[in-house]
Amino acid sequence: MKNTLFAVTICYLMICSSCHTPNEQSKTVEKNNAIGRVEIYDSSATDIIDSNAAIEVIGKNYKWSEGPVWVPARQMLLFSAVKENKIYRWNGKDTPIVYLTPSGYTDTAYRDGENGSNGLALDKNGNLLLCQSGNRQVVRLKTSLDTPKPEFIVLAPNYQGKKFNSPNDLVTDSRNNIYFTDPIYGLPKGANDPTRELNFEGVYKITSDGKLILLIDSISRPNGIALSPDEKILYVGSSDDKHTRWYAYHLDSAGSIQSGGILLDGTAMKEKATVKQGADGFKIDQHGNIFSAGPDGINIIAPSGKLLGLIRVYNRPTSNCAFNETKDILYVTASDWVLKVRLK
């Protein structure tokens, strides 16, 4: 009842504000109401985001935008267009332009499916890391970020001689360990693809000295992945069609899993959602809150697993998000759009 009254109050305030003499600010809010809106479910969320925060479109007409990463040293946003086999760059003001192609599939033979890069991240040294859906491996860009070329250093080519399904998302820690997920989404025929070589979907770790370790093989459709600010908890999202969930695993000092399990079951969230999708890519803010693509948009989840709010995006699924270096701006990839939302 409390959440319902709060939502009604917000709607009332929005209606009243529209009765005022139009000004530049009200025009902006009206414009962005066509894109989405912010919904507050717990009062603590008001310390994170304003209920009237503007949602802006900074790019559009992409074929499944994904894996955004902000590059502080160059003040640019990079994001994947998975079905275009490209990475785009946004400089903060102009229309995004093609940054790198091909990004995820470098062979010349025709291949169906999601071929481009998916998740992107920066390592401790500022190098660009890519999950290559088409090539089915995790790589590091070999060339400079200023003059990118499709030349890569392979960090994880396979597991025990068998090709990965399609590496999807990744995160690095302060010691240059890399954690990544490997669902079946990039395979042309999914779980039943004839080229599939592994009979499970894994969560892996690449140590700083290059050793590959399988951490989890029991999660269906492992997707988004992130670390808590103190790097003691590894979060994994499952976009399983029937039971979408977020998991939390406690890590030891070496970055190995000690214990963990379901943090939040999103099955009911998905069932009642307008845009019915599972837990996709996500990032963690400085307070440990999870900003996760999922049912109806970007779900804001407390470290305890409590749902605090939602950045609702109308009429299209969201895939991932990224913060700027000060974490007061959130960039969201949403199907054919890339969005910008200002936080507190």
Q: Is residue 293 part of a domain?
A: yes
Q: Is residue 22 part of a domain?
A: no
Helix (H) or strand (E) holding 56: strand 55-60
Query: What pTM, to 2 d.p., does this model score?
Result: 0.89
Alpha-carbon dihedral sign for residues 80, 142, 236, 58: negative
Q: Is residue 37 part of a domain?
A: no
pLDDT at 28: 35
- Output the domain CATH number for residue 324: 2.120.10.30
pLDDT beyond 70 at 255: yes
Q: Is residue 42 part of a domain?
A: no
Looking at residue 298, its amino acid is I
Helices (H), 23-150: 24-33
Alpha-carbon dihedral sign for residues 272, 273, 275, 276: negative
Lowest mean pLDDT among 20-34, 91-105, 112-126, 280-294: 20-34
Q: Is residue 278 part of a domain?
A: yes
- Kindly report the average pLDDT of the chain as a whole number: 91
Phi, psi (deg, nearest 5) at residue 308: -95, -35
Residues 300-315 have pLDDT tens digits of 999 999 999 999 999 9
Contact 75/92 with Cβ under 8 angstroms?
A: yes
C-alpha span between 183 and 191 (Å, rounded): 9
Q: Is residue 32 part of a domain?
A: no
pLDDT at 26: 31
Question: Which residues have C-beta within 8 Å of that of residue 76, sequence separation ≥ 6?
Answer: 70, 89, 90, 91, 92
Percent of the chain residues past pLDDT 70, beyond the cut: 90
pLDDT at 33: 59
Q: Is residue 110 part of a domain?
A: yes
pLDDT band for position 113 (50/70/90)? confident
pLDDT beyond 80 at 124: yes
Q: Quick one: average pLDDT of 269-282?
A: 97
pLDDT at 11: 38
Helices (H), the chain: 2-17, 24-33, 267-272
- Number of folded domains in the chain? 1
Q: Is residue 265 part of a domain?
A: yes
Residues 176-221 have pLDDT tens digits of 999 999 999 999 999 999 999 999 999 999 999 999 999 999 999 9
Domain assignment of residue 214, given as a range: 57-342
pLDDT beyond 50 at 71: yes
List the strands of the sheet with 329-334, edge to edge.
Answer: 55-60, 337-342, 329-334, 320-323
pLDDT at 342: 97
